[in-house]
A and B are shown apart, each in its own frame.
Chain A
Amino acid sequence: MRLVLREALNVFRRAPALSILSITTIAFSLYVVGLFGLVALNLREALRGVEQRVEVVAYLLRGTPPESIAQASEDIAAFPEVQRVTFVSEDEALTRARAELVEFRDAYRDLTVNPLPASLEIQLKEGSRDAVHAQLVAERLRGIGFIDDVRYGREWVEKLDRLRNIGGLVGMSIGLAFAAVAVVIIGVTIRITVLQRAREIAIMRLVGATRGFIRGPFLLEGALKGLLGGILAVIMCYASYLLFRNQSELATSGIVFFKTPQMLLGILFGIAIGLGGSLVSVGRQLKNV
């Protein structure tokens, strides 16, 4: 193990330019993937903000006893899709309409009878904020006798669903394409470093080194380069994030950076590509000696 570590570290001393070049290539390849990930992450966050507005509103018949409403609220809150149930009385509905619908302010001011019904506003849990779950909850609500009508903005929610599906599909395709390009570029870079040492590999085989012994330093070297490239990519992504955040007016709009597990995943991805690239390249080289 000591020898494997020494040989792996010696490469950085013996061929510093090539080592720096390969680490930089790994870093920039992962940086591009990271930047895309950052955009995708923030788009997802933005979409999540819109999703929070998905709610089902159940309008109640006039004269429904408060006890029945309270009991129904508890029952509805127990639905697995439901996060919160809020009761909006007739008066509250009118007050809200006066505040929010300014173009009808005059019409609402002159009313002698409140035409707006009381309602139950039902917010759905994350993961249930789509047309299928909203429809499911709406159907259950329609079975309650004192509920007059149920609305959840069906068309709007269905459009949101489509947007989410298309976004996910496109994001995954582009993300995979970026990742594949990164794998190829990093693989070629590692292959070049292995080819540069083809003579050394042949000599090692001639003096009786086993394939496992030869692979060891190369795998460690690949993993180290992947680790350093991954760390560098995270640093560059963070610098880009800060630059973008500071130069735009989005500072207060909730633009986010990767969480620690996501950063670690990126670095692990670098290590895995470094290891995999080395394993394949050295394996191919060993077939020739």
Chain B
Amino acid sequence: MVVGSGAPLPTTYSLLPTCVSTNGLIFKPVIRFTHVDKQYSKGAALKDVSLHIAKGEFVFLTGHSGAGKSTMLKMMFAELMPTSGDVRVSGFNVNEIRPREIAKLRRRLGIVFQDFRLLEDRTAEENVAFALEVTGAHRDVIPSKVMRVLTQVGLAAKSHAYPTELSGGEQQRVAIARALVNDPAILLADEPTGNLDERATRGVFQLIREINAGGTCVVMATHDLDLVKQATYRTVEMREGAVVFDSGTDESTSEEEL
């Protein structure tokens, strides 16, 4: 069995089992939730959630505040652990993941938030470079990689600007560039347009669609139904911690025929 560049597999690594889509085609999910519950002292955040997301797929997670969208995303990047059930992401079993393997998992993911989460005292390019530096990337390759993603998000000209000197839309683009710089297989976006005006929302959404078109799996939590209606991507609706609607997989991008 060969995975990636031949590096040894983490102990929590396991191949995700194949799944059968609605039309009988078989695909390998990169994210799989199986009967997942998340219980807090105040009540249940997730109730018996089962969900498979394929490589290259674009999935909207929709629902009102408190529906469980963010909880699901947090489980995907191992910030939260399920109370019961099974969560597997990009080959990692989140239930059993060890602290040192969380960093490895997150290096395979790109994560974008509503509040951008940029370091205020660093320029756009320093924010992006930071994501490479923490992974131990060689310093010779960092400038070119940073410029590549800043160009991709349309911010090459503002690479030396600090976050406070950028608009909300531009800050989110920097955050997306930072998420992309390690070439992740999955982009997790938690309300990425929640703090943006309509024009910036369109621009950021278009950018995320382009990233998906390049083969990156995108899971985007949003309660902006106008945005959801703009594209025919798979939509998973959450309500009170449960999946109440799943439009199914996007066959054109996610499924592989046997």
Contacts and interface: CB of A to CB of B under 8 A. Distances in A.
5 contacts: A199-B117, A206-B77, A206-B111, A208-B106, A209-B103
A202, A205, A207: residue with the most chain B Cβ atoms closer than 10 Å = A207
Nearest to B121: A14
Contact of B100 (A199, A203, A210): A210
B49 to A, nearest CB: 23
Interface string B78-109: 01000000000000000000011011101100
Nearest to A209: B134
Contacts of A289: 79
Interface residues of A, number: 16
A211 B100 contact: yes
B133 interface: yes
Contacts of A158: none
A58 B182 CA distance: 88
Contact of A211 (B99, B118, B119, B130): B99
A190 B106 CA distance: 28
A149 interface: no
Contacts of A202: 117
A1 to B, nearest CB: 11
A217 to B, nearest CB: 11
Interface of A: 3, 14, 199-200, 202-211, 213, 289
Contacts of A210: 100, 103, 134
Contact of B107 (A3, A14, A208): A208
A203 B117 contact: yes
Nearest to A214: B134
Given A206-B77, A207-B135, 4 more contacts: A200-B119, A209-B103, A209-B135, A213-B134
Interface residues of B, number: 21
B107 to A, nearest CB: 4
A50 to B, nearest CB: 59
Nearest to B107: A208
A243 to B, nearest CB: 41
Contacts of A206: 77, 106, 111, 117
A8 to B, nearest CB: 14
A203 B119 contact: yes
A208 B121 contact: no
Interface in B53-84: 77, 79
Nearest to A210: B103
B242 interface: no
A208 B100 contact: no
Given A200-B119, A213-B134, A207 B178 contact: yes
Nearest to B120: A199
Given A3-B133, A213-B134, A289-B79, A208 B117 contact: no
B31 interface: no
A210 B118 CA distance: 19
Nearest to B111: A206
A205 B78 CA distance: 11
B238 interface: no
A10 to B, nearest CB: 9
B104 A208 contact: yes
The 4 closest A-B pairs by CB, nearest first: A209-B134, A208-B107, A207-B131, A208-B106
Given A3-B133, A203-B119, A208 B79 contact: no
A201 B153 CA distance: 25
Contacts of B135: 207-209
Interface in B15-74: none
A207 B107 CA distance: 6
Contacts of B130: 204, 207
Contacts of A211: 99-100, 103
A207 B79 contact: no
A221 B25 CA distance: 56
B119 A208 contact: no
Nearest to A211: B99
Contacts of A203: 117-119
B133 A208 contact: no
B50 to A, nearest CB: 26
A211 B100 CA distance: 7
Interface string B109-133: 0010000011101000000001101
Nearest to A7: B133
Contacts of A3: 133
Contacts of B133: 3
A207 B121 CA distance: 17
A48 to B, nearest CB: 54
A236 to B, nearest CB: 32
Contacts of B118: 203
A207 B134 contact: yes
